[in-house]
Amino acid sequence: MGHSHAPKKKGFLMDYLTTVDHKKIGILYFVAGGIFFLMGGLEALLMRIQLIVPNNTFLNGATFNEMMTMHGTTMIFLAAMPIIFALMNAIVPLQIGARDVAFPFVNSLGFWLFFFGGVLVNCGWFLGGSPDAGWTSYPPLSTSFSGFGIDFYALGLQIAGLGTLIGGINFLATIINMRAPGMTFMRMPMFTWASFVTSALILFAFPAITVGLVLLSFDRLFSANFFNVANGGNEVIYQHLFWIFGHPEVYILILPVFGIISEVISTFSKKRLFGYSSMVFATVLIGFLGFMVWAHHMFTVGMGPVANALFGIATMLIAIPTGIKIFNWLFTMWGGQIRFTTANLWAVGFIPTFVIGGMTGVMLAAPAADYQYHDTYFVVAHFHYVIVGGMVFGLFAGLYYWWPKMFGRMLNEALGKWNFWFFFIGFHLTFFPQHFLGLMGMQRRIFTFLPNQGLDFGNMISTIGAFGMTIGTIIFLINIAVTNSKPKKAPADPWDGRTLEWAIPSPPPEYNFKQTPQVRGYDALWVEKMAGNKGMTPAEPLGHIHMPSGSILPFIMSVGLFIAAFGLMYEKVSVAIIGALITLLCMLLRSLIDDPGYHVDPTEDKGVEA
Amino acid sequence: MTDTHSGANQKGEKHLPSQHSARNHLITFALSIVLTAIAFAAVALEQVDIKSVVPFIFLLALIQAGFQLFVWMHLDQKGHQFQRIFIGGGAFVALLAVIAFSYWIWW
Amino acid sequence: MSANHALHTELPAEPEKATLEGRNKILGFWLFLGGECVLFGSLFATFIALRDKANGGPTGVELFSLPLVALATILLLTSSLTSVMSILAMHKKNVSQMVVWLVITALLGLGFLGLEIYEFTEYVHEGHSLTSSAFGSAFYTLVGFHGAHVAFGLLWLFALLATTGKKGLTVVTAPKYFVFSLYWHFVDLVWVFIFTVVYLMGKVGI
């Protein structure tokens, strides 16, 4: 039959290069995303140093534009999304009682595409200039007035975006088809629900930017005329396409975090999440409405009062389901036995911070007011409050919460609290003044400003705050290092958890569940605990478990596209064709060569719980 | 036939493959040809005035697309709930793009 | 789980749905098609916005030949039917009949592609290219992407046919034929909208 009992032991490097295991892929996403996060943070710090005093000469305009562009592009596409995918990969299959995602090979492909796309975007640093037209890269700036770097942006994001898209498809199929028996949709944990809606957003939003980047690349590489007004083109097309993607993208960033906050707050209040059904409904509604508001990024472009009014109202409507969530989290904590672990500090710190960001969002949603706010630091303050004060705080909460499950060790709580307070205070110092800088008229994306306009003090405080965030981040890195030096002794359930992932060891064995569990209600593990059981009841007898084999093909396929991109950029057709052929050949090999996988006998594992 | 541990959804398809016999598929084919021919004729023969012909041929296209989706691609069968939701979602976002570009692109 | 060595006669009624992997692949592919709707929708929207921006060059009214488009449509539509017939044959466990239908599908698809390549070269001679105008860019990107989907589908079909001899029809290979057939139907479905929006509306001059 060709099934071996266990594959040959691979070295550490080959293991990670060929893994199709969602848990290891989650770690890969975390490490790569983490490295890009540090790069993006450095880019931000350099910008803030330039802006600490007026007329500063630390960075010139051209370099500042590159920093500004790369900071935004890196943070959103190469840091935030991968870390979200890290947590989704590590946790969602465990929360639904599955052994892996629906398409393990494609999961690996998604990671390597993201990785090589991210590397490509950053190649500009040493190959003639990074992208410098902002993270939005509007034409005609990006088609007619920018250098080589934009090609790194367009092609790199195209490749990385493909990875994200297939990741979204993977999680949708996994959640639809692979839930454990008894886990109906309305018994799924909130993080899984959030991942589900997020994946649907990814599926529908990313093709729009795929087309936008294709049109941009065609104009740049092949002299097409999509955005060339002289030949009949129209630049607003790009803006529509970018934001039809771009607005759902920010909900892609925040919805998983809403899921994390629900898990963390309910666990550390020792209380069932208040209003679960309304939380699910609100999540779906936010996802849907997220597609109806994109032109609020274009209020000042000239669409006219009818369009502006429609999009303004739709934008304000999203505040309603979001408000439902905020109240439900507060009601969950009310009357609970609250423990302020680091994870919960981040979650509780998230709530007022995100609300401030949401509030300024409603201010921005009024088109007439937006004519004043647009392209000022007021907007910069708003989105950093929701993205950093919202998403990043939530990601930290998720990391502290699920670190034991992913790595088998608990992050140090004392260091965690120092990490939190430096970052939290530094964050508010950095971005709160920026509201006022914007209201006083400081434009965004400028590399310097003149003295005696009332902008000096705010900018200086903002830069000091940035150093605070830097120290907080460094403390987090120290925490990781210190934690890593300790033995892997985390318990299966360090927090007295409520959901299925805490029913298996930390970290889980490669097959996750020795026996697929039977789910009897929402907060599946808590239901069993309240019934006096020590763990989950199995839904199937003990038996051999079939696992998919690893493969180097996803890595090679991604390298192929990476090479093809260079061929396109440097107009070497043969290189482009070779790169594409490498990828196509790997697809063919994957199709021709069947993977028999291998079997694992779970009874051979010592100390394994169901 | 169906795996027991695959979760809540595939509860065992009740329909038989013969339900979508060759007959239904051939009818869909014939209908598609006819709808296509009508659309081409409406334009080529210039019998319909300009303002109505465009919505007319678009409606014909939608009907044809519906038949191909529901019969040839089995969207009407049991167990295709999520497929319908996600194709519907994709069509909805596509429609948003078309509306946006029809009304909110100007020179 | 997957019965790699199931005999022909032991195949269940709908072999493509008999395994979890098969059901996952079919669902995953439908999800992908949902994304493709948005992809083509964006390309259609771009075309609609730029359809009359011919920059002084030839317009759709002058360029498009309805008989040629009608012929291409018949070819692609028929190939969609033959792919349905191949799946019906698959459900009847008749592998050779399935292969025959797939081969006819491939030939019809090749015919469509040949016609389109001929059509594009004619247009370029007449001054309508990717670079000549915004209309040109939008036309070739939309119709070209569709043609690229046809071409990729044909490569996929050749690979499938090449392995049928060796692997035969099993619960592992059945989903591959089914998923291909879904893809091919979708490609034809997009064409319905292309001939309507690009060629017919173009000929009307709207």
Domain boundaries, chain A: 12-551+595-604
**Nearest CB to A231: which of C5, C24, C55?**
C55
pLDDT of residue C204: 87
Average model confidence (pLDDT) across chain A:
95
- Shortest distance between the Cα of C131 and any Cα of chain A, in A, equals 5
Q: Which domains are assigned to chain C? A: 24-51+71-204 (1.20.120.80)
- Shortest distance between the Cα of B2 and any Cα of chain C, in A, equals 6
Contact in structure between B58 and B94 (CB atoms under 8 Å): no
pLDDT of B6 over the 60 cut: no
Nearest to A407 by CA among A35, A18, A26: A26
pLDDT of residue B3: 40
In the three-class reduction of DSSP (H, G, I as helix; E, B as strand; rest coil), residue B47 is classed as: coil
**DSSP symbol at A545:** E
pLDDT of B12 over the 80 cut: no
Position A392: which residue type? V
**Cross-chain Cβ contact A244/B4 below 8 Å:** no
For residue range A262-308, list pLDDT tens digits in order: 999 999 999 999 999 999 999 999 999 999 999 999 999 999 999 99
In the three-class reduction of DSSP (H, G, I as helix; E, B as strand; rest coil), residue A169 is classed as: helix
**pTM, to two decimals:** 0.94
pLDDT of residue A128: 83
Sort residue C43 into left (φ over 0), alpha (ψ -120 to 50) or beta.
alpha
Is C121 part of the contact surface with chain A (CB cutoff 8 Å)?
no
How does DSSP assign C80-119, residue by residue?
HHHHHHHHHHHHTT-HHHHHHHHHHHHHHHHHHHHHHHHH
**Cross-chain Cβ contact A234/B107 below 8 Å:** yes
- Shortest distance between the Cα of A140 and any Cα of chain B, in A, equals 15
For residue range A443-452, list pLDDT tens digits in order: 999 999 999 9
Give the count of beta carbons closer than 10 Å to the beta carbon of residue A461.
Answer: 17
- List CB contacts (< 8 A) between A588 and chain C: 159
**Cross-chain Cβ contact C70/B61 below 8 Å:** no
Sort residue A223 into left (φ over 0), alpha (ψ -120 to 50) or beta.
left
**What homologous superfamily does CATH list for A12-551+595-604?**
Cytochrome c oxidase-like, subunit I domain (1.20.210.10)
For residue range A319-330, list pLDDT tens digits in order: 999 999 999 999
- List CB contacts (< 8 A) between B10 and chain C: 17, 23
**Cross-chain Cβ contact C41/B98 below 8 Å:** yes
Q: Which residue of A has its CA nearest to B107?
A: A234
The set of chains that have 3 or more CB pairs under 8 A with A is: B, C
**Cross-chain Cβ contact A173/C24 below 8 Å:** yes
Distance CA A433, CA A105 (A): 47
Strands A598-600 and A545-547, how do they pair? antiparallel
Tokens 């075309």, located at residue: C47
Task: Tokens for A454, please give them.
Answer: 């009332």
For residue range A454-485, list pLDDT tens digits in order: 999 999 999 999 999 999 999 999 999 999 99
Least confident interval from A383-392, A593-602, C169-178: A593-602
Is A184 part of the contact surface with chain B (CB cutoff 8 Å)?
yes
C-alpha separations of A113 from A78, A116, A215, A452, A561 in Å: 11, 5, 21, 48, 8
**Cross-chain Cβ contact A291/B103 below 8 Å:** no
The 3 state secondary structure assigned to A405-467 is: HHHCCCCCHHHHHHHHHHHHHHHHHHHHHHHHHHHCCCECCCCCCCCCCCCHHHHHHHHHHHH
Q: Which of C46, C155, C177 to mutate to test the interface with A (most CBs of A within 10 A)?
A: C46
How confident is residue B50, by pLDDT bands cut at 50, 70 and 90?
Answer: confident
Contact in structure between A199 and A172 (CB atoms under 8 Å): yes
- Shortest distance between the Cα of C184 and any Cα of chain B, in A, equals 10
pLDDT of residue B107: 81
For range A213-239, the mean pLDDT? 96
For range A521-531, the mean pLDDT? 95
Give the count of beta carbons closer than 10 Å to the beta carbon of residue C56.
Answer: 10
Q: Which residue of B has its CA nearest to A233?
A: B107
What distance separates the 2 farthest-apart alpha carbons in chain A? 80
For residue range C109-132, list pLDDT tens digits in order: 999 999 999 999 999 999 999 999
pLDDT of A255 over the 50 cut: yes
Which parts of A485-552 fold into alpha helices (H)? 524-530
Distance CA C118, CA C185 (A): 23
Q: Which residue of B has its CA nearest to A182?
A: B8
pLDDT of residue B11: 44
Contact in structure between A446 and A68 (CB atoms under 8 Å): no
**DSSP symbol at A494:** T
For residue range C131-159, list pLDDT tens digits in order: 999 999 999 999 999 999 999 999 999 99
Beta-bridge mates of residue A599: A546
pLDDT of residue A534: 87
Contact in structure between A595 and A551 (CB atoms under 8 Å): yes
Residues 69-88 in C contacting B (C-alpha not used; CB under 8 Å): 70, 73-74, 77-78, 80-81, 84-85, 88
Q: In chain C, count of helices (H) and strands (E)?
A: 7, 0
User: How deeply is A578 buried, as exposed, middle or buried, from its count of CB atoms within 10 A (0-12, 13-18, 19+)?
Assistant: middle
Alpha carbons within 13 angstroms on the beta-carbon side of residue A474 total: 8
For residue range A177-196, list pLDDT tens digits in order: 999 999 999 999 999 999 99
How confident is residue A18, by pLDDT bands cut at 50, 70 and 90?
Answer: very high
pLDDT of residue C11: 84
Sort residue A60 into left (φ over 0), alpha (ψ -120 to 50) or beta.
beta
Name the range with the highest mean pLDDT among A426-435, A593-602, B36-45. Answer: A426-435
Give the count of beta carbons closer than 10 Å to the beta carbon of residue C146.
Answer: 20
Answer positive or negative: Cα dihedral of A304, A307, A309, A315.
Answer: negative
For range A118-142, the mean pLDDT? 95
pLDDT of residue A602: 82
Distance CA A537, CA A528 (A): 8
pLDDT of residue C131: 96
- List CB contacts (< 8 A) between C40 and chain B: 94
Q: Which of B3, B93, B103 to mutate to test the interface with A (most CBs of A within 10 A)?
A: B93
For residue range A94-123, list pLDDT tens digits in order: 999 999 999 999 999 999 999 999 999 999
Averaged over successive runs of 10 residues, the pLDDT of chain C (206 residues) comes to: 49 90 96 97 97 93 94 97 95 95 98 97 96 96 98 96 92 95 96 96 86
